[in-house]
Amino acid sequence: MQTIISKYILRNSINNGTAIIYLRIATLSRQKYISTGIKVLVKDFNERLQCVSSKDPDADFKNMLLAEKKAQVNDIIIEYQRKKEILTVQKLDEELKKGYVAAKNDFYLFCEKEIDENYSNSETRKTYLTQLSKLRDFKRRLTFADITKRLVEKYFDWCLNTRGNKESSAYKSVAIFKVFVNWGIEKGVIFENPFKGFKIRKIGGNRQYLTADELQMLDGLYHSGRLNDERSEICAQFLFSCYTGLRFQDVRNLERNNFYYEVIGGERRLFMKFVQHKTKREVTIPVMSKAKNIIDTYYNKYGRKIFYVRTNQITNTRLKAIVRDAGIDKNISFHCARHTFATLALDKGVSFDVVSKLLGHTNLKTTQIYARVTNENKFFSVLKMEDL
């Protein structure tokens, strides 16, 4: 019987002691390295046990991906052994690329292949794979023929009543399921749209943001010296987003070459220009003095990158504690910084059009969701009527 050995190893070491996990496939004559797209700290990968250690906050998720990737390759190896055909490294590569798993009519493996090939970014990849795992909890095996309008309705009902999701979370899961189905329609393996007639509603939530006073309280904590190094960096990143409106991933991607100076009103002013991760649109944003002070602190600390940004989960966990330490009683996540920027900019009289361009919105209606009247404005407006 042909001997094929598969093993996970670390390759392509990058900044901050991290590396990418590759699956090495070896025959007697050749070997091939297949990237999993998973980044880990070198010290957190156990090559002997072939897994990510529990010290990594996303260990369970990453180990699930490793198991699924190896199972995908093993399925191909077993199928070739069953047919008594020689599986070369080149053939294995071809089978993976042409979507061998899709030929088996397995919707989940088809989606995993699409995610592997097109979504290397950790946050998007994690979101899609988490939702795919949730869908698998609903129905263990799913073929293309199983995907009907009735199945979509059952999945939505399962999210609400069995999984206990809020309506907004259930609609989000169904919306991502629709993304997966659209991949199948585009590739010609799903022939009818099961979402036709199923309306996915976007439930508007309470968009938390910091008031101007609360922002000053948080800024005061940042400059007080009371935070340890990790929390100080996370606080700085959040404040920078409050002063610029950048999303979490754009803060993570920010590099030194995104900054430049331009003479405005006879003075050199700092600007940043970058392509937004979500919209792929290029935006140019002037950097206010408080944001510039943060950039000056971290500009030369991490090479070409401005910040060392931890995972979204770690960042939000630390951020909630930081906000409490500042004396702010709000449930804040990192994305609230973007809401803070937009709300306070409009509150200060910046026009919708300018705020929309600063945020990189493609539609002015998206910006209008921030056009709320703050409690502070309400109070001072009513105060003017005290002498009625």
Q: Are 246 and 291 in contact (CB under 8 A)?
A: no
In a domain, 386, yes or no: no
131 and 232 in one domain? no
> What span, in angstroms and rounded, lies between the C-alpha atoms of 119 and 10?
20
Q: How many C-beta atoms surround the C-beta of residue 317 within 10 A?
A: 15
In a domain, 238, yes or no: yes
Q: How many C-beta atoms surround the C-beta of residue 102 within 10 A?
A: 18
> What span, in angstroms and rounded, lies between the C-alpha atoms of 190 and 144?
6
- Please count the structural domains in the chain: 3
Q: How many C-beta atoms surround the C-beta of residue 279 within 10 A?
A: 13
- The average confidence (pLDDT) of the chain is 84
Range of the domain at 273: 212-381
Helix (H) or strand (E) holding 168, with range, is helix 167-187
> What span, in angstroms and rounded, lies between the C-alpha atoms of 305 and 256?
6
pLDDT band at 336 (very low <50, low <70, confident <90, very high): very high
The distance from CA 259 to its chain's CA centroid, rounded to whole angstroms, is 24
> What span, in angstroms and rounded, lies between the C-alpha atoms of 125 and 47?
23
245 and 371 in one domain? yes
356 and 241 in one domain? yes
185 and 276 in one domain? no
pLDDT at 26: 83
237 and 344 in one domain? yes
In a domain, 387, yes or no: no
Structure tokens at 260: 């430049």
239 and 128 in one domain? no
Examine the pLDDT at 203 and tell me if it is beyond 80: no
Among 27-31, 202-206, 217-221, 372-376, which range has the highest average pLDDT? 217-221
190 and 143 in one domain? yes
Q: Tens digit of pLDDT for each residue in 11-32?
A: 866 666 788 888 888 877 788 8
Top pLDDT among 92 and 96 is at 92
Top pLDDT among 134 and 92 is at 134
Q: Tens digit of pLDDT for each residue in 224-272?
A: 999 999 999 999 999 999 999 999 999 999 999 999 999 988 889 999 9
Q: How many C-beta atoms surround the C-beta of residue 365 within 10 A?
A: 10
pLDDT band at 204 (very low <50, low <70, confident <90, very high): low
Examine the pLDDT at 63 and tell me if it is beyond 60: yes
Q: Which of 39, 69, 98 is the endpoint of a domain?
A: 98
Residue type, 354: V
309 and 219 in one domain? yes
pLDDT at 381: 56
Q: Are 40 and 19 in contact (CB under 8 A)?
A: yes
Examine the pLDDT at 368 and tell me if it is beyond 80: no
Q: Which of 98, 119, 145 is the endpoint of a domain?
A: 98
> What span, in angstroms and rounded, lies between the C-alpha atoms of 270 and 359?
17
Examine the pLDDT at 184 and tell me if it is beyond 50: yes
pLDDT at 273: 93
3 state SS of 31: strand
In a domain, 181, yes or no: yes
pLDDT at 375: 55
In a domain, 147, yes or no: yes
Q: Tens digit of pLDDT for each residue in 94-127?
A: 776 665 555 557 899 889 888 887 876 667 888 8
260 and 168 in one domain? no
Top pLDDT among 366 and 150 is at 150
Pick from 244, 336, 258, 256: which is nearest to 290 by CA?
Answer: 244
Supply the pTM of this predicted model.
Answer: 0.57
Examine the pLDDT at 191 and tell me if it is beyond 90: no
In a domain, 136, yes or no: yes
Examine the pLDDT at 315 and tell me if it is beyond 70: yes
Q: Tell me, what DSSP letter sits at residue 5?
A: E
Q: What percent of the chain has pLDDT over 70?
A: 86
First to last CA, the chain: 95
pLDDT at 110: 87
184 and 249 in one domain? no
pLDDT at 373: 47
Q: What angle do CA 39, 42, 47 make, to 5 degrees?
A: 95
In a domain, 288, yes or no: yes
Residue type, 308: Y
Top pLDDT among 383 and 53 is at 53
In a domain, 173, yes or no: yes
Q: How many C-beta atoms surround the C-beta of residue 200 within 10 A?
A: 14
Backbone angles phi, psi at 262, to 5 degrees: -140, 140
Within 256-351, where are the H helices? Answer: 289-298, 312-325, 336-347
Q: Which of 175, 205, 235 is the endpoint of a domain?
A: 205
CATH number at residue 158: 1.10.150.130
Residue type, 154: K
245 and 122 in one domain? no
Top pLDDT among 352 and 261 is at 261
Examine the pLDDT at 36 and tell me if it is beyond 70: yes
CATH number at residue 277: 1.10.443.10
133 and 268 in one domain? no
